Amino acid sequence: MQLLRVLQSQGFGVRRACRDLIETGRVKVNGVRVLEPDFECAMTALTLTLDDQDWAYREQVYLALHKPVGFECSRQAQHHPSVFSLLPALFLERGVQPVGRLDQDSSGLLLLSDDGDFIHRYTSPKKEIGKRYRVVCKHPVSEEQIAALLGGVLLRDETAPIAARGCTRVSENVIDLGIAEGKYHQVKRMLAAAGNRVESLQRTRIGGYALPSDLEAGQWRYLEEADLASLAETVAAAVPSA
Ligand code: URA
């Protein structure tokens, strides 16, 4: 692929901007400065260097972000900063989108990608991707409430009850809750329907992929092959028990 197109595909800017980067000597290909925009790049093990910072070429990107409380998932955030302000600008440039959403006041694992099929696969209601949440409740969680969550609660505007796919107590007011759907405010609405109230919510797992314990709030990392494989297993299989 031509160097100019490679830079554009990676989110380094529009055609004119990428051409300028190359012609002003700011780009190296596998360690060698290249000044011709139409230079043909060999695509295997391609490393780009922009202003002495290395970027491995990735045809598509898959990211895990530890979303902090106080950020909105939309690109055009309304009332709070966008999660995109936590990511390098070139991800936005290359069309990365959140895979599902977390509320502004929720934290935890948020996947992002520019692979449309991947986004569809992990957000389609038909696939029933398991998600797990650490839920801090306003009131002590009773055994009856846990039974109600596991048995199914009827949410407003829904016609059939929705059951948690796992619910374990962590402490008096804290539970780990597994769900298979991704309905609007689902966990908050489920806890409300069970007679409690969510004080704080953290997504700790999607499918077989857990929020890495060393990924601090506000940090992101690439999902590598092994991470994608653990996610993919649970597309076909089921929800992890909480
Ligand atoms: N359920 C909610 O109520 N909020 C979230 O952010 C995620 C799941």
Is 188 found in the same domain as 229? yes
Domain boundary among 39, 56, 73: 56
Is 77 found in the same domain as 22? no
Domain with residue 74: its CATH number is 3.30.2350.10
Q: Does any ligand 1 atom lie closer than 6 A to the CB of residue 106?
A: yes
Domain with residue 22: its CATH number is 3.10.290.10
Q: Does any ligand 1 atom lie closer than 6 A to the CB of residue 185?
A: yes
pLDDT at 241: 55
Is 109 found in the same domain as 95? yes
Average pLDDT over residues 56-75: 95
Is 125 found in the same domain as 50? no
pTM over 0.85: yes
Averaged pLDDT score across all residues of the chain: 93
Is 13 found in the same domain as 70? no
pLDDT at 240: 54
Does residue 242 surpass a pLDDT of 70? no
Q: Does any ligand 1 atom lie closer than 6 A to the CB of residue 179?
A: no
Is 219 found in the same domain as 136? yes
pLDDT at 238: 47
Tell me how far the alpha carbon of residue 113 lies from the centroid of ligand 1, in angstroms: 20
Domain boundary among 30, 56, 82: 56
From 195, 146, 202, select the one nearest 169 (Cα to Cα).
146
Question: Which of 65, 158, 188, 203 should be mutated for ligand 1, with most atoms under 8 A from CB?
Answer: 188
Is 203 found in the same domain as 87? yes
pLDDT level of residue 239 (50, 70, 90 thresholds): low
- CA distances 212 to 60, 65, 96, 119, 172, Å, are 21, 10, 21, 21, 25
Q: Does any ligand 1 atom lie closer than 6 A to the CB of residue 107?
A: no
Give the atom of ligand 1 at the shortest distance from the alpha carbon of 105. 6
Per-residue pLDDT tens for 153-211? 999 888 999 999 999 999 999 999 999 998 999 999 999 999 999 999 999 999 999 99
Is 87 found in the same domain as 16? no
Query: What is the rounded distance in angstroms from the CA atom of residue 121 to the CA atom of residue 19?
Result: 35
Does residue 77 surpass a pLDDT of 90? no
Greater confidence (112 vs 128) lies with: 112
- For 25, the domain range is 3-56
Q: Does any ligand 1 atom lie closer than 6 A to the CB of residue 73?
A: no
What residues are labeled active site? Answer: 103
Question: Which of 185, 196, 197 should be mutated for ligand 1, with most atoms under 8 A from CB?
Answer: 185
Tell me how far the alpha carbon of residue 190 lies from the centroid of ligand 1, in angstroms: 10
Average pLDDT over residues 4-14: 93
- CA distances 72 to 75, 77, 101, 193, 219, Å, are 8, 6, 9, 25, 15
pLDDT at 45: 84
Is 84 found in the same domain as 29? no
pLDDT level of residue 56 (50, 70, 90 thresholds): confident
Average pLDDT over residues 70-75: 94
Q: How many domains does the chain have?
A: 2
Is 124 found in the same domain as 72? yes
Give the atom of ligand 1 at the shortest distance from the alpha carbon of 101. 6
Is 23 found in the same domain as 43? yes
Radius of gyration of the chain (CA): 21
Is 51 found in the same domain as 63? no
Q: Does any ligand 1 atom lie closer than 6 A to the CB of residue 105?
A: no
